[in-house]
Chains A and B, each alone.
Chain A
């Protein structure tokens, strides 16, 4: 299990399930997952499209979109539950304690307002600064994220920035109130390949300087290898393997993780997507019985099709796969 410290982790997700009620029954998109992120730690979350990564991130910041809803489980920030807060209580946490960076910088900023106005409103909502002080802070932030001629750019509108520059502005906005955790959901997927590495490096450096923890959702194993402290691999709404980044990359146990990692040595940023495993992830209404990965798994055997494996500790990792069930004493 997770290392037991005296103090609770910064963020803890316990047995979270997210479902969508539909006319033809309830779809379970995130199924009983548990995660934790410590102070200042970078947790990489990987998995194919539809694995439930974004839903998990949205649930943490309390912005699950209707009709999606948390079916069960708890989300704790510093040991206090935040999944059952009112909209207003949660609003105070968003931005101040947990910041967010979304995928597409081109659409994350309101086109009708200058970046200064968007920064200032964010700063003022979370601090006691007056407009003048907030504007000074906005300038500091723009400089910190590396916008050239930041002073002049304050009064620019989003459309006057390139994609990479806009994502820098988005990062400045996410950091505006010095949150302790940032949920970065594929922050570079929509960007030009040539600037993806810069943005990731920037995010990593700023968070390291401030001791901000990051939940970094990405498709890019190279980014994970360079940035994350720990990794959680998701498949069909479940965490199938998690552990320290070196251990998951070099010593993957779950056949799905091994598949993902297979191409790492030849990898350049952004060139490789997670497409090297044959077959596709099941749709939510057709998740196979037993291990959800069994139709695509090379090592599949009888038990995989009947019973669902739970996470158990193998060396430094936790793995949900029947291959290891006999190696270790008990089911965790």
Chain B
């Protein structure tokens, strides 16, 4: 177990190094930081002096080392646009994005798994067929379109739910949460629904096909032949065997949701990292862009790490060291 975790951890570090290289390259070659920092009337020799001072004339590998050093110390530079420290700016935005992503995925899981189980167990019932059809629509509609339609229905038409912003937030330490106020809760419904819809259909379809597959296996037939109850067979034996692929997908989806919250955040003016990133692109605010990239990569890698460790908990066949210890 520990060897496994260490191995995974080293892999995670390698991935993060690769991403920081990309972030660095972006930082270094996209746009000219000097011209962002000084006015157009600044003479060449002053620019050169600044360049020397910032270490921009050092060999590139050395610059990368410096960049890494800065990143590790939490020094991500200053936003070209606002001049504020990038880490502060992003840190302020992370809670909004994370809450949105987690609520979206939770809703996708809580609704998607039972729907998938049902349609896997009873593929011929009309409700299962209905789920299948609806899920096709869910998979093929673009997010922004769903968002706009929802805004139109629940905003001006019914006037039921807020359609932009986060509502009131409460600060707990560095974290700001909208989940503790009524307006915050109301505000998250539409964006989370929009963001989670694709995930819901994906999870539902995956659970369904995995269930269909597992229900055909010998050990399910044998479990029935042993006289186990339907519930024990369907949930204790079948559902558990679908969990490894389902958890993989949920984990990957959580990463995706964090990364692709951009569109939903834009549609609902949700004050998260994605919205910040969009604004950064407009201003070629490279420090913000590259830091955003790093942060998303950290989330991705962390989630994958957790998913890998979960496999290990669920599937004993992966605990190879144990099997070897017992002599196979």
Contacts and interface: CB of A to CB of B under 8 A. Distances in A.
Interface of A: 61, 63, 87, 91-96, 99-100, 102, 104, 107-114, 121-122, 125-126, 156-157, 159-160, 162, 170, 173-174, 176-177
Interface stretch (B25-33, B48-56, B311-319): B311-319
Interface stretch (B160-168, B218-226, B262-270): B218-226
Interface in B81-139: none
A108 B219 contact: yes
B317 A170 contact: no
Contacts of B317: 111, 157, 159
B137 to A, nearest CB: 29
Contact of A102 (B218, B228, B237, B323): B218
A126 B227 contact: yes
A8 B307 CA distance: 58
B39 interface: no
Given A94-B227, A110-B223, A125-B229, A159 B316 contact: yes
Given A112-B240, A160-B328, A61 B225 contact: yes
Contact of B226 (A107, A159, A173): A173
Given A102-B218, A160-B326, A95 B315 contact: no
Contacts of A112: 240-241, 314-316
A121 B224 contact: no
B232 interface: yes
Contact of A121 (B219, B232, B315, B326): B232
Nearest to B324: A160
Contact of A110 (B230, B237, B323): B237
B222 to A, nearest CB: 4
B225 to A, nearest CB: 4
Interface string B133-154: 0000000000000000000000
Contact of A176 (B222, B226, B314, B316): B226
B217 interface: yes
Given A111-B317, A125-B228, A177-B227, A156 B326 contact: yes
Contacts, number: 85
22 contacts: A94-B224, A95-B226, A99-B225, A102-B218, A102-B222, A107-B217, A107-B218, A107-B219, A108-B219, A112-B240, A112-B241, A114-B316, A121-B228, A125-B228, A125-B229, A125-B232, A156-B326, A159-B316, A159-B323, A160-B323, A173-B222, A174-B226
Contacts of A113: 237
Given A95-B228, A111-B317, A170-B222, 10 more contacts: A92-B227, A94-B225, A96-B227, A100-B222, A102-B218, A102-B222, A112-B240, A112-B314, A156-B326, A160-B326
A111 B222 contact: no
B103 to A, nearest CB: 30
- Interface hub of A102, A156, A160 (most chain B Cβ within 10 A): A160
B227 A95 contact: yes
Nearest to A155: B326
Contacts of B217: 107
Overall SS of chain B's interface: helix
A105 B227 CA distance: 18
A292 B223 CA distance: 36
Interface in B270-328: 314-317, 323, 326, 328
A100 B222 CA distance: 8
Contacts of B229: 91, 125
Nearest to B214: A110
Contacts of A99: 225-226
Contacts of B315: 111-112
Nearest to B220: A110
A89 to B, nearest CB: 11
A122 B226 contact: yes
A113 B223 CA distance: 12
Contacts of B314: 112
A108 B221 CA distance: 8
B241 A110 contact: yes
Given A111-B317, A112-B316, A159-B317, A122 B222 contact: no
B324 to A, nearest CB: 10
B225 A63 contact: yes
A310 B217 CA distance: 37
B218 A91 contact: no
Given A102-B218, A111-B317, A160-B328, A95 B232 contact: no
B220 to A, nearest CB: 8
A94 B328 contact: no
Contacts of A109: 219, 222
A108 B227 contact: no
A126 B228 CA distance: 9
Contacts of B222: 100, 102, 108-109, 170, 173
